């Protein structure tokens, strides 16, 4: 099992909470890792990205998908959870002050949630990369999860 995160602090938390002889953690940009010789030497049967897609933008997504496809075995599965769903954005910004705060933070370049994803666009990009993705609602009411198969 391999855990990859850009945040060395989060890698430390994960390592402290979940360690074992079959678990390795890397403090690295996941897109860099997925396109590195180190990743090409591996094949993964499962990929999990929990609450991570909001840290990427639409330009990163094709690189991320291509990299995941490169290391995912033919019978592998990819699960991305807690993807902020553009269609559900109004559920999160449900008071008069929340949209104003979002607008202000956006102007300052500090979006509270990161990008909200259009699932149709994500699904189209997945198809373009030969991934069959199915989306489902999550318990949060603002996010979706995606299961993708090569």
**What does pLDDT average to over the chain?**
90
The answer to whether residues 66 and 125 touch, using CB atoms and an 8 Å cutoff, is: no
For residues 39, 41, 47, 52, the Cα torsion angle rounded to the nearest 10 degrees is 0
- 8-state DSSP, 134: E
Alpha helices in the chain (DSSP H): 8-17, 30-34, 37-40, 60-71, 89-92, 97-107, 119-128
Tell which wins on pLDDT, 142 or 45. 45
What does the domain layout of the chain look like in residue ranges? 1-42, 45-149
pLDDT over 80 at 140, yes or no:
no
99: pLDDT confidence band, cut at 50, 70 and 90? confident
Mean pLDDT of the 102-115 span: 81
**CATH class for the region spanning 45-149:** alpha beta
13: pLDDT confidence band, cut at 50, 70 and 90? very high
| Site of tokens 């300052």 | 108
């Amino acid at each position: 099992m391999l855990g990859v995160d850009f945040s060395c602090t989060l890698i430390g938390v994960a390592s402290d909470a979940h360690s074992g002889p079959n678990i390795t953690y890397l403090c690295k940009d996941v897109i860099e890792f997925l396109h590195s010789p180190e990743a090409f030497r591996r094949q993964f049967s499962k990929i999990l990205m929990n609450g991570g897609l909001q840290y990427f933008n639409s330009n990163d997504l094709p690189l991320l998908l291509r990299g995941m496809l490169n290391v995912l075995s033919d019978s592998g599965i990819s699960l991305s959870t807690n993807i902020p769903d553009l269609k559900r954005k109004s559920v999160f910004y449900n008071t008069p002050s929340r949209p104003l705060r979002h607008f202000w933070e956006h102007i300052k370049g500090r979006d509270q949630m990161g990008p909200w994803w259009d699932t149709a666009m994500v699904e189209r990009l997945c198809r373009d990369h030969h991934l069959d993705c199915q989306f489902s609602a999550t318990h949060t009411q603002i996010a979706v999860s995606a299961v993708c198969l090569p």
